[in-house]
Structure 1
């Protein structure tokens, strides 16, 4: 544990700096320093800072997920090509072709995990801060002993932020912890499920929906959200508030990305085209413009010709005297 604390020391220092800074701000605008809502809002402030810093990684994740689904049929061809071949040469050849496919399309199966992996040190760092605060001990930075005591003993609806659902079940905390933790778990699962549903239901092209990658994505849609049952039971309420706030950020961010930059051929893309068409802001592609010009040219009304010009144009030449 001491080794882990040593690794997390700089992360804890930054976390304490951000939380205490937000706490100063909320007390400056009139909130009570020891209130649970003040410390919860400080945790939400930590989420805002962390997730804002991770926006480039999130955009990269979205692009990677799109490309992974787009190359899924090609990936399936490579897998079918070496299906049933167990020799080392075939395995190496399949690995080379797969990695070449990823490289040529600028994607990687690990890119979609980057935002989550980047948040894990913050997650464990906040857990360490809460653990220290629950013992009323000063942190490694701006979390003084006074702040630590307030943070550890702060309550929301009678449930201390340092308490866990498992502890409440074992009799270490009141029934309020069970209620608040249960509500948080439900909200975390619902927000994560809706975030994944936005991708699979609205931001996937019809061609991609027939790929194995899409079927795997639909399975994960129902599996991943329930991982929060474990965190909701074993981790402190303060940490669960962090994850719930982070899920809300992801949900809103995903909605904006899908609305403004949808995958071509998806339901979200068609909805965006319809919105732009209603506002008269839809830009025609070169093919659409050429087709429209050809239609106009065919249907264009011919200019009328007067009788003299028509007679002169169609009449016979006169006799010579």
Structure 2
């Protein structure tokens, strides 16, 4: 299947934003060694795609909430079919089908962005002065030349960390070491923001009880950022900029959605913890010293019930009255008072 339609779509969005910044007076000349019109075009390519994918992102959040609500039932199935993995998987699939929950929906936005990433990767890689197909995917020769010479702090946007000095020289880089430093720093930022994006969501929603879901969470949290350490050397600098901006956009978007629509309390509650009694319950009952039930303290340890307190003795009431006959302490019993009348 040809991916030309993706290359045309990515090129069209990128060129429209570049034309907009150029029309409002952002010069293509380098300022601080940077062609800001092309950098802003990449940034707003991210904004455009994230606005288009926002409904999918909302569905992702709803699916994650549905999966959280099913965690108690999932745990029951795990206890019921412990040791029988095949039956457990069948029962869980039936549960997801009945409750209309999709475990893979949480990864859907990432999957939808893969074609965009591949399209931008292909478009930027072809920006070489030696490429004769300059007008491919709707580009003009002037646009092709301008993008091929664009740079971030003197590092060419089509340049890669893994490029040789000769390859970087063909792209117009004056110092290959500077390009590698800039590319290396961007790759590290890409790894860090990818990790933080996954970590933010897991901290807010908690680790899944389903082994399959938990494996996906671990892959997204640790596996993908670690893989970028190697694959990032093959990405053009413009693609790394796209990835970093996309991660920063995701962090802000997730923070806003999670704050506006917080996860249900059960998502962060630990199994076996009991709710604390309301502070106003004792006051409503009218009892001065209600008996407190056993509660679980920090780390889930059961706290002992409070020991019964001895009654308070009024020493003034027991003191002998003035003029009264003293009582012999050696006698074992107190003399009974005579009945009146």
Partner of 2:204: 202
1:56-205 to structure 2, matched below 5 A, reads 56-85=55-84, 91=86, 94-134=88-128, 135=131, 137-168=133-164, 172-173=167-168, 174-204=176-206
Deviation at 1:297, TM superposition (A): 12
Assess if the C-alpha contact under 8 Å between 1:20 and 1:42 holds in 2: yes
Q: How many angstroms apart in 2 are the aligned matches of 1:254 and 1:100?
A: 30
Deviation at 1:50, TM superposition (A): 0.7
Q: Is 1:8 aligned to residue 3 of structure 2?
A: yes
Assess if the C-alpha contact under 8 Å between 2:186 and 2:240 holds in 1: yes
Q: Is 1:17 aligned to residue 12 of structure 2?
A: yes
Deviation at 1:82, TM superposition (A): 4.2
Q: How many angstroms apart in 1 are the aligned matches of 2:211 and 2:22?
A: 52
Q: How many angstroms apart in 2 are the aligned matches of 1:297 and 1:232?
A: 65
Q: How many angstroms apart in 1 are the aligned matches of 2:251 and 2:266?
A: 19
Q: How many angstroms apart in 1 are the aligned matches of 2:66 and 2:3?
A: 34
Partner of 1:52: 51
Deviation at 1:268, TM superposition (A): 9.3
Assess if the C-alpha contact under 8 Å between 2:68 and 2:267 holds in 1: no
Q: How many angstroms apart in 2 are the aligned matches of 1:162 and 1:12?
A: 16
Give 4+ residue runs of structure 1 displaced > 6 Å after superposition.
Answer: 208-211, 266-269, 295-298
Q: Is 1:27 aligned to residue 29 of structure 2?
A: no
Distance 1:258-1:182 versus aligned 2 partners, 3 A rule: same
Deviation at 1:66, TM superposition (A): 2.9
Secondary structure at the aligned position of 1:263 is classed as coil
Q: How many angstroms apart in 2 are the aligned matches of 1:267 and 1:258?
A: 13
Q: How many angstroms apart in 2 are the aligned matches of 1:161 and 1:62?
A: 34
Deviation at 1:212, TM superposition (A): 5.5
Assess if the C-alpha contact under 8 Å between 2:28 and 2:36 holds in 1: no
Deviation at 1:201, TM superposition (A): 2.3
1:252-271 to structure 2, matched below 5 A, reads 252-265=252-265
Deviation at 1:33, TM superposition (A): 3.1
Distance 1:165-1:33 versus aligned 2 partners, 3 A rule: same
Specify which structure has the higher proportion of helix: 1
Q: CA RMSD in A?
A: 3.3
Secondary structure at the aligned position of 1:110 is classed as helix
Partner of 1:229: 229
Distance 1:230-1:63 versus aligned 2 partners, 3 A rule: farther
Q: How many angstroms apart in 1 are the aligned matches of 2:133 and 2:142?
A: 8
Assess if the C-alpha contact under 8 Å between 1:69 and 1:211 holds in 2: no
Q: How many angstroms apart in 2 are the aligned matches of 1:210 and 1:107?
A: 15
Structure whose CA Rg is larger: 2
Partner of 1:240: 240
Q: How many angstroms apart in 2 are the aligned matches of 1:136 and 1:149?
A: 11
Equivalences, count: 265
Assess if the C-alpha contact under 8 Å between 1:192 and 1:225 holds in 2: yes
Assess if the C-alpha contact under 8 Å between 2:46 and 2:245 holds in 1: yes
Partner of 1:276: none
Secondary structure at the aligned position of 1:162 is classed as coil
Assess if the C-alpha contact under 8 Å between 2:103 and 2:213 holds in 1: no
Q: How many angstroms apart in 1 are the aligned matches of 2:205 and 2:91?
A: 28
Give the gaps of 5 or more residues in structure 1: 270-287, 299-321
1:279-298 to structure 2, matched below 5 A, reads none
